[in-house]
Amino acid sequence: MIRLGVCTKPENMALLAGQGFDYIEISLSWLHGLTDEEYAKQLAIVKAAPIGVESANGMMPGAIKVTGPDVDEAAIRAYLEKAFRRAHEMGVKVVVFGSGASRRVPEGWPQAEAWRQLARFLTIAAGYGEQHDIDIAIEPLRRAECNIMNLVTEGTLMSALLNLPRVGTLGDTYHMICGHEPYSAFIQAGRLLRHVHISHSLGVDAGRIWPAPDDGEDYREVFAALRAAGYDGRVSIEAGCEDMAAGGPKAFAALDMARRA
């Protein structure tokens, strides 16, 4: 059965486990930025928790560019080595490459060259994924957040052309709604779909919040498309939540009902 998780920090793991969630998703750039002492404390929290850390988003910090004239491959490699090592120790199985500030194409930079740079970056990253037993899921972002790779179909195409075992694509329902992309893109991605983000969309400019029963979103449609794609991986809630204790049970109920429909 598809596993349900939440994008959050380890401090919330026990609470979410009690609500029925299977795992959490952390930020890779946050994990990388921890001091050794801070990291040890977070790792201890994770090791003692009733659920695990199975995925990570925020793959690259904005200060490390992967497109444009300021790409520094040595800096990229140094970052990935430390970040993926820590992620593996945490139990992470898939890292999400959204990172709009890192991959955004500078004005005047050729798009064709930017696509080649993305391919080069993903090839490098795949090596660290292989070393640490972690998959990489390309996250298409809405155009307001990034000016390249905005659709699941584009992430699928990049994954297919690279043909690297550790690289696939991701579908985020919020970005898909903003880009008017149908959930049939999951089916087209097929085995290349490695991860999913879900939320209740408030509109292109209004953001997103946690799902809830009868919030107007048809989550059954999402899970039906995932089943048709043969997907049995993870679906993480990625959205704001003012009160996780109150919102968690509602979100879990809405998504669990949809995945069992």
pLDDT at residue 110, rounded to an integer: 98
- Residue 134 structure tokens: 């972690």
Q: What's the average model confidence in pLDDT over 102-127?
A: 98
Coil, strand or helix at 109:
coil
Q: Are 224 and 185 in contact (CB under 8 A)?
A: no
What pLDDT, on a 0 to 100 scale, did the predictor assign at position 198?
98
For 188-226, give one letter per residue: b (16+ CB within 10 A) or e: bbeebbbbbbbbbbeeeeeebbbbbeeeebebeebbbbb
User: For the whole model, what pTM was predicted?
Assistant: 0.97
At residue 92, does pLDDT exceed 90? yes
Q: Would you state the pLDDT for residue 171?
A: 98
Domain of residue 210, residue span: 3-260
Is the Cβ–Cβ distance between 134 and 93 less than 8 Å? yes
Angle of helix 111-132 relative to helix 152-162, nearest 10 degrees, comes to 70
Please tell me the total count of domains within the chain: 1
Closest to 76 measured CA to CA, from 124, 28, 130: 124
Count of residues making up the chain: 261
Q: How far apart are the first and last CA of the chain?
A: 12
CATH label of the domain that carries residue 54: 3.20.20.150
Strand partners, 240: 209
- pLDDT at position 206 is 82
Q: What is the pLDDT of residues 154-205, one digit of tens each?
A: 999 999 999 999 999 999 999 999 999 999 999 999 999 999 999 999 987 7
- Angstrom distance (rounded) from CA 253 to CA 237: 13
The whole-number pLDDT of residue 244 equals 97
pLDDT at 23 over 90: yes
Alpha helices in the chain (DSSP H): 13-19, 28-33, 36-48, 73-90, 100-103, 111-132, 152-162, 173-178, 184-189, 219-228, 244-260
The per-residue pLDDT for 204 is 77
For helices 111-132 and 73-90, angle between their N-to-C axes, nearest 10 degrees? 40
List, as own/partner pairs, every contact residues 108-112 make where C-beta atoms lie below 8 angstroms and the sequence separation is at least 24, other chains included: 109/67, 109/68, 109/69, 111/148
